[in-house]
Chain A
Amino acid sequence: MRRQRAPLAIGVLAAAGAAFIVVPLIGLIVRTPWGDAWRSLSAPETLEALGLSLEASLSATALALVLGVPLAWVYARIDFPGRTVLRALTTLPMVLPPVVGGIALLLAFGRRGLLGAWLDSTFGITLPFTTAGVVMAETFVAMPFLVLTVEAGLRSMDRRYEEAARTLGAGRWTILTRVTLPLIAPSLFAGAVLCWARALGEFGATITFAGNFPGVTQTMPLAVYLLLETNPESSFILSLVLLGISLLVLIGLRDRWLGSA
C-alpha cells in the first residue's frame, strides 16, 4: 500500500495535538529531582499513601467484580423494562464530575444520608472518614468501566458454545462458570484493569466523601495534591509513580487498544 501524505494543515494540527499531551508528561520527567527520588519514595508518609492506595484500589476492584460482573450479565442477557434507563444511570459515574459523586455519596451514605442514617442508628456504622469510605468512593467511580467492558464481551462472544453445553446437559451455573466466564476472560481482565486504574487515580469523590487523613483516607492522588503545597519535589516524584503505573496499564492492555496500530 502506498504511504499517504497528510495535507499540511492536518499535519500541523495533528503535531500540535500530540505535543499538547506529550509536553506536560515530558515536563514532569524533566522537573523531577531524580537525586531525591529514593528519599521521597521511601519516606514513611509516601509509603503509607502508596500502601493505602493499593489496598483501597484493589478492594474497590474486587467489590466491582463481585457486583459488576452480575450486573453486566443481566444487562447483556436479560430483557426487562427500564433496562436502558437503569443502564444509563449506572454508567453515569463515568462522565459525572467525581466531586458530584462524592456529594451524592454523602447524601446517601453520610451520617444523615438516606441509608447512612439507618446504618448509623441500627449498626453504628459510619462510612465518611474511613478506609471503607475510600473503597466506596473508588468503586462508585470505577465500576462502570468494568461493567461496560464485561457487557461488551458478553454481547460479542459466540453463544453457540453455551448452547452446546446446554444440549450436553450442563446446568446454568456450570455453563456460566465453565463456559461463559472463561470465554470472556480477556474482557474480564481488561475491565478489571481499567477499573483498578480509575480507582487508583480517584481524587474528587474520595476527598469529598472520605476526607483526608494520612494512613486512613489519604490516598496517593490526595498526597500528591497536598504535597504540591509543602514539598513540590516529592509531589513530582509521586506523580511520576502514578504516571508509570498508568503506562504499565496501557502496555498491559496493548492488544486491546494498541494492537491494531
Chain B
Amino acid sequence: MSFRSVVTTLALGLALVASACGGGASSAQTSPAPLTGSISVFAAASLTDSFKALGGSFQRAHSGVTVQFNFAGTPTLVTQIEQGAQADVFASADTTNMAKLNTDGLTSGGSQVFAHNQLEIVVAPGNPKGITSLADLARSGVIYITEGPTVPAGKYALQALATAGVKVTPKSLETDVKSVVSKIELGEADAGIVYTTDVKAAGSKVQGLPIPAADNVVATYPIVAVKGTKHADAAAAFIAFVVSPAGQSILGSYGFEHA
C-alpha cells in the first residue's frame, strides 16, 4: 500500500519534472497510448553506471514507466532468472550466457547486440608496481586478481592471457568486475583485468593500462526481453531506447563502443 503510493508519487514527480523540462522528449513521442508500469532490468555489473544513466533518460521520456535495475555478474543474473526472478529485460556481457538463457527457453524474441567493450589492466594510481604488459602480471610480488571463469570478463581475461602466452595464477576469482576494481582501489591487490569502461567509471581512484589490440578481446553485449514479462511493451521500448542513437550516445559517453 505505502510502497504503491511511493511509486505513484515518484511517477507523478517524474512526470512533473518531465513537463517542467519542456517535455521536448515526451511530446516528440507519437505512440498511441503512454507506457505504464515498472520494469526490472537485469544487467551485467560492467553496465552499472551507463545503465543507470540510460534508465534516467528513459524515464524522463516515458513518465509512466519506472525502471528498476539488478546489477550482478552475468552468470549470477542467468541463475536468478532461471530460478524464477521477475526480470523483464536481460543485458548480458557475453553471447555465451545469452545463449544459455535462450536454450532454457527464457528469452522472448531474438537478442540484439547493443555495445562492445575492451579489456584493460587495472592498477593503483601511479602504477606503483611498474606494470607495462600482460607478462608483468606473472611477476613474483604482483598480486593479480580476476573474475571467475564463468563471469564474461574473467573468460575474456583468460583468452587475452592465452593469446599473449602468459601463465599467471590469480590470488582470487571475484564474482564480478566491480569487486575486482574495488580491491584494487582498497590496495589489497596490485593488478586485475577489467573492461575499459570500469576503469573510466572508477575515475582517479584507479589507473588503466591498455592491452595491445593483438591480445585484446572485444566483448559483445546483447540485450533481450525475458519470456513471460508482464510489461512487454515497456520492455521493448527500453530495448529500443538502448539501441537508438540517443541510447548509443549515452553508452558512448561511458566508454562503450557502438554496436
Interface centre among B79, B174, B187 (most CB of A within 10 A): B187
- Cα–Cα distance between A101 and B145 once the two chains are bound (Å): 21
Stretch of B35-43, B45-53, B114-122, B165-173 lying at the A interface: B165-173
How many residue pairs at the A-B interface have CB separations less than 8 Å? 53
Q: Is B107 an interface residue (CB 8 A)?
A: no
Is residue B161 contacting chain A, with contact meaning CB distance below 8 A? Answer: no
Contact B172 A211 (CB under 8 A): yes
- A199-234: which residues lie under 8 A (CB-CB) from chain B? 207, 210-214, 216-218, 226, 228-230, 232
On chain A, the number of residues with a Cβ less than 8 Å from chain B's Cβ atoms is 21
Among listed A13-21, A106-114, A168-176, interface-contacting one? A106-114
Neighbouring B residues of A229 by C-beta, 8 Å: 75-76, 78-79, 150
Q: A213-B170, A229-B76 are contacts. A110–B188 as well, Cβ < 8 Å?
A: yes
How many Å from the CB of B33 to the closest CB on chain A?
A: 39
A128 to B173, CA, bound (A): 13
Contact pick for B148, options A110, A126, A129, A212, CB 8 Å: A212
Interface of A is mostly: loop
B150 neighbours in A (Cβ, 8 Å): 226, 229-230
CA distance A207 to B179 in the complex (A): 11
Q: Does B160 contact A (CB under 8 A)?
A: no
Residues of B within 8 A of A110 (CB): 186-188
Q: A211-B145, A226-B148, A229-B78 are in contact. Are A112 and B186 (CB under 8 A)?
A: yes
Interface residues of A (CB under 8 A from B): 106, 110-112, 126, 128-129, 207, 210-214, 216-218, 226, 228-230, 232
The 5 A-B pairs of least Cβ separation, nearest first, read: A211-B172, A129-B171, A229-B75, A112-B187, A128-B188
